[in-house]
Structure 1
């Protein structure tokens, strides 16, 4: 009986654990500040206490460094990059341009984010799907 309860608990918790880690390869769908949609790919890698985030959108590379956060109780806890992170904040560069973005994991395992670039007064949306 005890073993059955333990196995059931593991099966219930396994999907939550599998969803938590932001690392991996994703398809990107986003919208530029002018309203035009774009697609591409992004790779997120944990590099010690931070994340390396590399996008390729329309043949242009964007390289970023990210920090993670996760829910602990009823608040976000920030700290070193962790497989438990459910949010990441990224600063990025491309050529002479720079920007920042914030992504939150959704219940279905996708990541939804908002981003902007240096000097802009607008924010745009982006979604990541494994």
Structure 2
């Protein structure tokens, strides 16, 4: 037995015409939605502005954190120095070897200065001019 031949009517089915119209409509909509050069430039300026504002807020926040961390660290240096000089801390006797005090003050000062340098180089990057 052979399979019967498919129907020969050339009229497309209603589903096929609906799909074809939908595809055609979508293609036309995409063509209409292509942005112009002026629109692309406006969007680029808007994105650059948003990036600059976001970067400003980020740098402001990080700057505040670096400042508070450095201020706390230097306050600890002052408290340690005063406690070592007076010989008590919080009403209790306090005694540290002078080499420990010098090492702590030296490393903490170097750390605070380094922290500020890293932050300032990030805040104000050196921009090399294009060649």
TM-score, normalised with respect to structure 2: 0.27
Higher normalized strand content (fraction of residues)? 1
- Which protein is bigger by CA-based radius of gyration? 2
TM-score, normalised with respect to structure 1: 0.27
Higher normalized helix content (fraction of residues)? 2
